[in-house]
């Protein structure tokens, strides 16, 4: 790009916008569907399809392990895939604060393009708005994704059954703690990085090679605890989580204890929860562990019949290392660091 | 196994629990002075494994919970002022003030409030906003007061005149004295706060054993710490001879942190303070001394604490004094929940009502 700073002109629809679109977005996102440059993208897709949209407003926009753009790709790709689908296409809308450096936007766009390539999805339509200083914080990105269902019946949070195993694809809390600890004003060192990653390849493999998958969810905002509570509620079961089987990196654990946070409630952007019959658990774990982003997959709990468990329907019960049980509730509001 | 893991070791816990069951020959009512201990006991699942004869009471050791109604009202008044940026630790954001208002709401409505993780960040905020006054909300015990004092010293050295602190600090030992003097307070032994003691050491607690013949154990937050401490208490009660024991030697030196105390007392003088639900306690707060008076937000911004009516029905005072279990408060889990807290004990991460609500023991 010849210009070095984003101006309101770049969102005007005139020459400056055209240059931005041509020199930046088409250059990096280009594919036959996008390159048609029509008002809408013509998609070659067969139903049933899954669709998801999300807006990304993360602060800081760059963090170890990713940036707002890669997050926007991974987040939506994963949401589309979680119903048992193969994500195919993404739309992408940018709302940019005037004054953002063009090189910053370009870095985001280049990494988004790489993320889309890795996830094997095409960015087929998009939009850019530049707004006056102060109207947004640097850059917001919205992505919408569509995918083709590859399961005969979509997975659902309502399909967990007593006797099922609860698996996770890796460590909990990496993304949430990374973003928090990189926020301005928080100066404690940690080597932790975001786990932001596309999970659709793992999902495809699970569906094709293991089958009989009841629930797939990515524990993003609200973390593992909140997501399991949602599932327990939807399925009217009790979920028992074994505390010391839930993988948490040492650095995340230490960071959390410093800030008074609970890693079970921190967001993940590259982890999935898979619930399936206990007989299939070992095979699913073995498969996940052979795949990128699934190396640390483990079983963390089981689904119980509320009649026959330490909890009620809709509750998540945590078994502590001492053998005691306690409730693992949904989080009320956001987690806020404590005083002492 | 590293050192910190060994204090969580389930096998060792099992042995200690067995020992506790064997040794215990009379009921034991102990108080966790510090909210973090309450949370630790729930979080580890210890509560349901302890002998039923052990009753644990929560104490006044959650800094958010003991912040007086009039002090919370002052935060909210401050939030209304133009040219003021409030810098605060996160846990104060949701504390209910008069008419159910809180800082979170004030921020959503436009007040300038920044969550910081250290008072030094607040100092930076003041440097970056020279046309505004940055007020740091100084809530906390001996644990946080020294770093806040250090930031004030730094502000003086660097001439950062737009940095102010609202000092509503509280000191723990005087509150213990109030409890011990209260004939209704039936505490057999104290689990003394680990964090506060890193600064204080053992000395300020000796009166608990000497004058009131009540055992006190300074302890950490892992299950082994808590079980060992309970055993020490049981043993002392059996012998009928109380003393203060430092079980948490890996973090707390017997003499505490003299340098931190020195910093704290070069900026602040001891004065009486108002505790929510407990009342006015002599020598239990910290006010600016003359040398640093220019950083006192109370004076600089002309803040006067006004009488605020107590929240009707809230039993925080009874809970903080260990006279009532949180779930015996008539509002608990009914009118008062983490989503709609009536008292601060239901919002703070260290609040005992919040802990009882969050970790409702099953099985
Ligand atoms: S339950 Fe609510 S109203 Fe009752 S003591 Fe606790 S905080 Fe106060």
Average pLDDT over residues B23-42: 92
The domain boundary, picked from A149, A174, A189, lies at A149
Query: Is A134 touching B (CB cutoff 8 A)?
Result: no
**B226 in ligand 1 pocket by Cβ < 6 Å?**
no
- 3-state SS string for A142-210: EEEEEEEECCCCCCCCCCCCCCEEEEECCCCCHHHHHHHHCCCCCCCCCCCCCCCCCCHHHHHHHHHHH
Q: Are residues A63 and A208 in the same domain?
A: no
Evaluate whether residue A199 is within a structural domain.
Answer: yes
Residues A107-127: b if buried by 16+ CB within 10 A, e if exposed:
ebbebbbebbebbebbbbbbe
**B355 in ligand 1 pocket by Cβ < 6 Å?**
no
Q: What angle do CA B334, B338, B344 make, to 5 degrees?
A: 100
What pLDDT is stored for residue A128 in this prediction?
Answer: 93
| Residue A192: both structure tokens together | 């932790």
Q: Are residues A14 and A145 in the same domain?
A: yes
Chain B environment of A317 (Cβ under 8 Å): 362-363
What pLDDT is stored for residue A187 in this prediction?
Answer: 53
State the DSSP code for A68.
Answer: H
- Tell me the pLDDT tens digit for each residue of A44-69: 888 899 999 999 999 899 999 999 99
What pLDDT is stored for residue B363 in this prediction?
Answer: 35
Q: Are residues A84 and A118 in the same domain?
A: yes
Interface contact B45-A333, CB threshold 8 A: no
Residue B225 clears pLDDT 80, i.e. is over it:
yes
Residue nearest to atom 1 of ligand 1 (CA): B332
Residue nearest to atom 7 of ligand 1 (CA): B343
Residue B239 clears pLDDT 50, i.e. is over it:
yes
Count of CB atoms situated within 10 Å of the CB of B181: 10
Distances (CA, A) of B14 to A88, A147, A317, B10, B271: 54, 52, 21, 6, 45
**B345 in ligand 1 pocket by Cβ < 6 Å?**
yes
Which DSSP string do the residues of B104-166 spell out, in sequence order? HHHHHTT--EEE-SSHHHHHHHHHH-TTSEEEEEE---TTTHHHHHHHHHHHHHTT-TTEEEE
Secondary structure (3-state) at A117: helix
Write the CB contacts of A23 (distance below 8 Å, at least 6 apart in sequence). Answer: A1, A2
Q: Are residues A221 and A268 in the same domain?
A: yes
A291-300, B6-15, B224-233: least confident range: B6-15
B59-63, B163-167, B205-209, B358-362: least confident range: B358-362
Evaluate whether residue A156 is within a structural domain.
Answer: no
Find the CATH number of the domain harbouring A91.
3.30.1330.10
Q: Are A207 and A288 in contact (CB under 8 A)?
A: no
Relative to beta strand A238-242, strand A298-304 is: antiparallel
Q: Are residues A198 and A67 in the same domain?
A: no
- C-alpha A147/C-alpha A51 separation (Å) is 6
Q: Are B63 and B195 in contact (CB under 8 A)?
A: no
Evaluate whether residue A285 is within a structural domain.
Answer: yes
Write the CB contacts of A12 (distance below 8 Å, at least 6 apart in sequence). Answer: none
Q: Are residues A184 and A117 in the same domain?
A: no
Q: How far is A323 from chain B (nearest CA, A)?
A: 7
Q: State the angle between helix axes of B223-239 and B35-43 in degrees (0 to 180), rounded to the nearest 10.
A: 110
The residue assigned the tokens 């942190």 is B257
Query: Is B37 touching A (CB cutoff 8 A)?
Result: no
**B316 in ligand 1 pocket by Cβ < 6 Å?**
yes
Evaluate whether residue A335 is within a structural domain.
Answer: no
What pLDDT is stored for residue A12 in this prediction?
Answer: 83
Q: Are residues A172 and A247 in the same domain?
A: yes
What pLDDT is stored for residue A333 in this prediction?
Answer: 72
The domain boundary, picked from A109, A125, A149, lies at A149
Residue B362 clears pLDDT 50, i.e. is over it:
no
Q: How far is A214 from chain B (nearest CA, A)?
A: 27
Interface contact A327-B359, CB threshold 8 A: yes
Q: Are residues A67 and A131 in the same domain?
A: yes
- C-alpha A98/C-alpha B4 separation (Å) is 50
ipTM (interface predicted TM): 0.75
Q: Spell out, as residue ranges, where chain A has pLDDT lower than 50.
A: none
Find the CATH number of the domain harbouring A292.
3.90.650.10
Centre of ligand 1 from the C-alpha of residue B190, in Å? 23
- Tell me the pLDDT tens digit for each residue of B143-189: 999 999 999 999 999 999 999 999 999 999 999 999 999 998 889 99
Which pLDDT band holds residue B47 (cuts at 50, 70, 90)? confident
Evaluate whether residue A1 is within a structural domain.
Answer: no
What pLDDT is stored for residue B54 in this prediction?
Answer: 93
- C-alpha A90/C-alpha A81 separation (Å) is 12
Q: Are residues A133 and A46 in the same domain?
A: yes
- C-alpha A323/C-alpha B46 separation (Å) is 9
- C-alpha B284/C-alpha B291 separation (Å) is 21
Q: Are residues A137 and A174 in the same domain?
A: no
Q: Are residues A172 and A320 in the same domain?
A: yes
The ligand 1 atom nearest the CA atom of B315: 5
Q: Return residues 87-116 of B near A (CB < 8 Å).
A: 89-94, 114-116
Write the CB contacts of B135 (distance below 8 Å, at least 6 apart in sequence). Answer: B78, B84, B85, B86, B87, B164, B165, B166, B297, B301
| CA B175 and chain centroid, separation | 11
**Which domain, by its residues, includes A112?**
8-149
Q: What is the mean pLDDT of chain B?
A: 92
Alpha-carbon dihedral of residues B213, B218, B221, B223, nearest 10 degrees? -60
Evaluate whether residue A157 is within a structural domain.
Answer: no
If one counts the domains in chain A, the total is: 2
Evaluate whether residue A294 is within a structural domain.
Answer: yes
Residue B3 clears pLDDT 80, i.e. is over it:
no
Q: How far is B240 from chain A (nearest CA, A)?
A: 31
- Tell me the pLDDT tens digit for each residue of A121-171: 999 999 999 999 999 999 999 999 999 999 989 999 999 999 999 999 999
Query: Is B118 touching A (CB cutoff 8 A)?
Result: yes
For a pLDDT cut of 90, what percent of chain B falls above it? 74
Q: What angle do CA B142, B148, B153 make, to 5 degrees?
A: 125
Residues shown for chain A: 340
Evaluate whether residue A338 is within a structural domain.
Answer: no
- pTM assigned to the model: 0.85
Interface contact A336-B114, CB threshold 8 A: no
- Tell me the pLDDT tens digit for each residue of B95-143: 998 888 999 999 999 999 999 988 999 999 999 999 999 999 999 999 9
Give the 3-state secondary structure percentages of chain B, helix then strand then coil, rounded to 5. 45, 20, 40
Q: Return residues 303-332 of A near B (CB < 8 Å).
A: 310-311, 315, 317-327, 329, 332
The domain boundary, picked from A97, A118, A149, lies at A149
What pLDDT is stored for residue A46 in this prediction?
Answer: 85
Q: Are residues A108 and A183 in the same domain?
A: no
- C-alpha B53/C-alpha B16 separation (Å) is 16
Residue B2 clears pLDDT 60, i.e. is over it:
no
């Amino acid at each position: 790009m010849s210009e070095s700073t984003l101006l309101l002109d770049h969102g005007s629809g005139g020459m400056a916008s055209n240059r931005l679109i041509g020199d930046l977005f088409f250059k990096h996102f280009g594919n036959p569907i996008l390159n048609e440059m029509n008002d809408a993208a013509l998609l070659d897709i067969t139903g049933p399809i899954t669709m998801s949209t999300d807006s990304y407003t993360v602060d800081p926009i760059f963090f170890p392990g990713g940036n707002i753009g890669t997050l926007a790709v991974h987040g939506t790709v994963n949401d589309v895939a979680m119903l048992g689908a193969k994500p195919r296409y993404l739309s992408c809308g940018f709302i940019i604060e005037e004054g953002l450096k063009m090189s910053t936007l370009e870095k985001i766009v280049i990494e988004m393009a790489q993320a889309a390539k890795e996830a094997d999805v095409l960015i087929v339509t998009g939009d850019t708005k530049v707004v006056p200083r102060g109207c947004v914080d640097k850059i917001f990105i919205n992505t919408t994704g569509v995918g083709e269902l590859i399961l005969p019946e979509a997975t659902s949070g309502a399909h967990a059954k007593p006797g099922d195993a609860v698996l996770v694809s890796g460590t909990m809390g990496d993304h949430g703690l990374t973003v928090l600890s990189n926020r301005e004003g928080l100066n404690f060192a940690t080597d932790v990085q975001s786990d932001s990653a596309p999970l659709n390849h793992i999902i495809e493999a699970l569906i094709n090679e293991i089958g009989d998958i009841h629930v797939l969810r990515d524990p993003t905002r609200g973390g593992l605890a909140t997501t399991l509570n949602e599932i327990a509620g939807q399925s009217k079961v009790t979920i028992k989580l074994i505390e010391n089987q839930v993988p948490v990196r040492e650095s995340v654990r230490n960071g959390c204890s410093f800030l008074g946070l609970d890693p079970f409630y921190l967001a993940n952007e590259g982890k999935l929860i898979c619930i399936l019959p206990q007989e299939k658990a070992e095979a699913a774990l073995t498969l996940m562990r052979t795949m990128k982003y699934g190396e640390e997959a483990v079983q963390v709990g089981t689904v119980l019949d509320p009649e026959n468990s330490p909890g009620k329907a809709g509750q998540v019960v945590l078994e502590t290392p001492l053998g005691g049980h306690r409730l693992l509730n949904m989080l009320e509001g956001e987690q806020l660091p404590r005083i002492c | 196994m590293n050192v910190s893991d060994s204090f969580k070791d389930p096998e060792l816990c099992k042995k200690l629990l067995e020992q506790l069951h064997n040794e215990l020959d009379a009921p034991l009512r102990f108080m966790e002075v510090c909210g973090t201990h309450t949370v630790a006991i729930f979080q580890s699942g210890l509560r349901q494994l302890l002998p039923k004869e052990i009753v644990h009471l929560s104490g006044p050791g959650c800094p958010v919970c003991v912040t007086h109604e009039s002090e919370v009202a002052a935060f909210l008044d401050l939030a209304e002022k133009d040219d003021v940026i409030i810098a605060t630790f996160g846990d104060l954001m949701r504390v209910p003030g008069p008419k159910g208002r809180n800082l979170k709401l004030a921020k959503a409505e436009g007040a300038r409030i920044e969550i910081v993780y250290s008072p030094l960040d607040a100092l930076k905020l003041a440097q970056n906003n020279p046309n505004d006054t940055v007020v740091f909300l100084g809530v906390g015990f001996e644990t946080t007061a020294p770093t806040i004092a250090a930031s004030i010293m730094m502000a003086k050295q660097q001439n950062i005149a737009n940095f102010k602190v609202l000092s509503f600090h509280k000191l723990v030992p005087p509150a213990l004295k109030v409890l011990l003097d209260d004939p209704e307070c039936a505490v057999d032994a104290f689990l003394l706060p680990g964090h506060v003691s890193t600064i204080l050491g053992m000395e300020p607690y000796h009166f608990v054993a000497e004058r009131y013949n009540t055992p006190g154990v300074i302890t950490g937050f892992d299950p082994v710490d808590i079980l060992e401490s309970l055993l020490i208490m049981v043993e002392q009660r059996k012998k009928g001879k109380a003393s203060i024991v430092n079980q948490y030697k890996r973090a707390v030196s017997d003499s505490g942190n003299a340098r931190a105390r020195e910093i704290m007392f070069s900026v602040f003088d001891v004065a009486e303070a108002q505790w929510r639900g407990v009342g006015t306690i002599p020598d239990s707060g910290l006010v600016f001394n003359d040398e640093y008076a220019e950083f006192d937000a109370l004076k600089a911004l002309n803040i006067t604490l006004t009488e605020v009516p107590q929240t009707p029905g809230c039993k925080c005072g009874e809970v903080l004094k260990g006279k009532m279990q949180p779930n015996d408060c008539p509002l608990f889990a009914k009118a008062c929940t983490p989503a709609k807290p009536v008292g601060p004990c239901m919002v703070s991460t260290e609040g005992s009502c919040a802990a009882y609500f969050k970790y409702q023991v099953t099985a």
